[in-house]
C-alpha cells in the first residue's frame, strides 16, 4: 500500500476498512490530547506528523484534507506550543516532537500558566476594588445553584468548600469516590479538631490507606444496601454538593450540583444523620 493511501485509510477509514481499528485508536488519542489543550485538528496534525514522519505544509494539507490557510495556522500554533519543529530547508518540513516530550512540554506550560494567574490574583483584586458597588444594600437572599461538570471543576469546588468550613463537613460516597477525594488532597483541609468531620463509605480492605491519616471515629462503614451512585457533601449546614454522575459510573463524565438551598441542605443532612446512626465504625 502506498504511503498516501495508508494515510487516507487511517484518517478517513470506514467501519468496513481493515484500518478501522487504528481509526478508533486515533479518535481516542485525539480525545486524550484534548485534555492537554490541543484542539481536534491540532491533535490530528500532531498525530499525522508523529506517525508518518516529517512533511511539508502542502503534504499535511492534502493528506488531512484541511484548508490551506488553516493548515499553516495549525502548524504555527503547534510550533508555538513546542510540540512540532520545523527545518530551515526549502520547502520547510515539519516534524512532531516525541510524545513523551510533547506531554512534558504541554503539562509544564499549563503549570506556568497557572502560576502566572496566581501571581496576577492580587492585581485583579486591586482593580476590582477600585470599582464601587452599585448593588442595592438590602438584598433578599435567594437560593443559588451551580452545575459542575468534569473532575477538575468538581475538585475545585470541593476544595473551596473544605477550605472555608467552620463547623461541620459531612461526606457520603462510594469506594471509588473516596479514591478520587484522596488524590485531590482535600482531606488535609478539613481534618482538624475544630471541625465536625464525618465520612460515610463502604470501603474494601484494599483502600483502607485512604483513611490512614483520619481519626477513625470520624469514619463509618455504611450498609451495602446503599447504592454506589449515591454521593454528596454537606458543609456547615449551609451548602451541599450532590453528585448526579459520580466516580462509580465509570462510563459517564462526573457531574454534580452545588446549592445553598436550605431545604435541600436540611434534607440531605437528615439523610446523612440517619445513615450515620445505623453505620459501623470503620475499624470494627
pLDDT digits (tens, 9 = 90+) for 207-244: 777 777 778 788 888 877 777 778 999 999 999 999 98
Q: Which whole number is the average pLDDT over 3-12?
A: 51
Integer Cα distance of 199 and 274 in angstroms: 13
Are residues 177 and 92 both part of a single domain? no
Q: Which of 47, 70, 101 is the last residue of a domain?
A: 101
Are residues 164 and 225 both part of a single domain? yes
Work out the percent of the chain whose per-residue pLDDT is above 70: 87
Are residues 269 and 154 both part of a single domain? yes
- Does residue 167 contact residue 236 with C-beta atoms inside 8 Å? yes
Determine, yes or no, domain membership for 254. Answer: yes
Q: Which of 72, 101, 130 is the last residue of a domain?
A: 101
| Total residues belonging to the chain | 284
More confident of the two residues 246 and 279: 279
The predicted pLDDT at position 4 comes to: 43
Q: What is the mean pLDDT of the chain?
A: 83
Question: Sorting pLDDT into bands at 50, 70 and 90, what band is 55?
Answer: very high
Determine, yes or no, domain membership for 138. Answer: no
Are residues 205 and 261 both part of a single domain? yes
In degrees and rounded to multiples of 5, residue 262 shows phi and psi of -60, -40
Determine, yes or no, domain membership for 45. Answer: yes
Q: Which of 17-31, 77-91, 177-191 has the highest mean predicted lDDT (pLDDT)?
A: 77-91
Domains in the chain, number: 2
Determine, yes or no, domain membership for 124. Answer: no
Are residues 49 and 158 both part of a single domain? no
Query: Is residue 27 scored above 80 in pLDDT?
Result: yes
Determine, yes or no, domain membership for 134. Answer: no
Q: Which of 47, 71, 101 is the last residue of a domain?
A: 101
Integer Cα distance of 267 and 170 in angstroms: 13
Q: Which whole number is the average pLDDT over 171-199?
A: 80
Are residues 163 and 227 both part of a single domain? yes
CATH of the domain at 275: 3.30.870.10
Report the range of poorest mean pLDDT among 21-35, 78-92, 102-116, 132-146.
132-146
Are residues 151 and 276 both part of a single domain? yes
Residue 253, classed as helix, strand or coil, is coil
Determine, yes or no, domain membership for 135. Answer: no
Q: Where are the beta strands (DSSP E) in the chain?
A: 55-56, 84-86, 93-96, 145-149, 168-172, 196-201, 219-221, 232-235, 239-245, 255-259, 280-281
CATH of the domain at 79: 1.10.10.10
Range of the domain at 177: 145-281
Q: Is the dihedral of CA 149, 151, 152, 158 positive or negative?
A: positive
pLDDT digits (tens, 9 = 90+) for 103-146: 999 999 988 988 888 888 888 988 989 988 876 666 677 888 89
Are residues 200 and 273 both part of a single domain? yes
Q: Which whole number is the average pLDDT over 176-197?
A: 77
Are residues 150 and 229 both part of a single domain? yes
More confident of the two residues 37 and 1: 37
Determine, yes or no, domain membership for 218. Answer: yes
Are residues 82 and 201 both part of a single domain? no
Residue 99: half-sphere exposure toward Cβ, Cα within 13 Å: 9
Integer Cα distance of 120 and 280 in angstroms: 48
Query: Is residue 271 scored above 90 in pLDDT?
Result: yes
Determine, yes or no, domain membership for 244. Answer: yes
**Helix/strand/coil (H/E/C) assignment for every residue in 194-231:** CCEEEEEECCCHHHHHHHCCCCHHHEEECCCCCCCCCC
Are residues 45 and 168 both part of a single domain? no
Are residues 65 and 186 both part of a single domain? no
Amino acid at each position: 500500500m502506498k504511503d498516501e493511501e495508508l494515510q487516507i485509510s487511517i484518517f478517513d477509514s470506514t467501519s468496513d476498512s481493515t484500518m478501522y481499528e487504528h481509526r478508533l485508536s486515533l479518535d481516542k488519542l485525539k480525545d486524550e490530547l484534548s485534555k492537554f489543550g490541543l484542539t481536534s485538528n491540532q491533535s490530528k496534525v500532531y498525530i499525522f506528523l508523529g506517525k508518518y514522519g516529517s512533511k511539508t505544509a502542502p503534504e499535511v494539507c492534502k493528506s488531512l484534507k484541511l484548508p490551506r490557510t488553516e493548515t499553516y495556522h495549525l502548524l504555527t500554533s503547534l510550533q508555538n506550543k513546542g510540540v512540532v519543529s520545523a527545518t530551515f530547508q526549502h520547502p520547510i518540513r515539519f516534524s512532531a516532537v516525541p510524545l513523551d516530550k510533547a506531554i512534558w512540554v504541554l503539562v509544564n506550560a499549563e503549570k506556568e500558566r497557572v502560576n502566572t494567574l496566581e501571581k496576577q490574583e492580587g492585581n485583579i483584586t486591586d482593580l476590582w476594588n477600585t470599582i464601587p458597588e452599585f448593588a442595592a444594600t438590602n438584598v433578599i437572599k435567594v437560593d443559588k445553584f451551580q452545575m459542575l461538570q468534569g473532575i477538575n471543576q468538581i475538585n475545585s469546588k470541593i476544595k473551596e468548600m473544605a477550605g472555608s468550613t467552620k463547623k461541620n463537613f459531612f461526606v457520603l460516597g462510594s469506594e471509588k469516590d473516596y479514591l478520587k477525594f484522596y488524590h485531590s488532597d482535600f482531606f488535609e483541609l478539613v481534618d482538624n479538631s475544630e471541625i465536625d468531620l464525618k465520612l460515610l463509605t463502604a470501603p474494601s480492605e484494599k483502600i483502607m490507606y485512604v483513611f490512614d491519616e483520619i481519626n477513625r471515629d470520624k469514619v463509618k462503614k455504611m450498609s451495602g444496601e446503599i447504592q454506589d451512585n449515591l454521593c454528596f457533601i454537606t458543609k456547615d449546614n449551609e451548602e451541599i454538593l450532590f453528585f448526579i454522575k459520580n466516580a462509580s459510573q465509570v462510563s459517564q463524565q462526573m457531574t454534580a450540583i452545588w446549592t445553598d438551598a436550605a431545604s435541600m441542605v436540611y434534607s440531605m443532612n437528615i439523610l446523612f444523620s440517619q445513615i450515620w446512626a445505623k453505620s459501623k465504625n470503620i475499624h470494627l
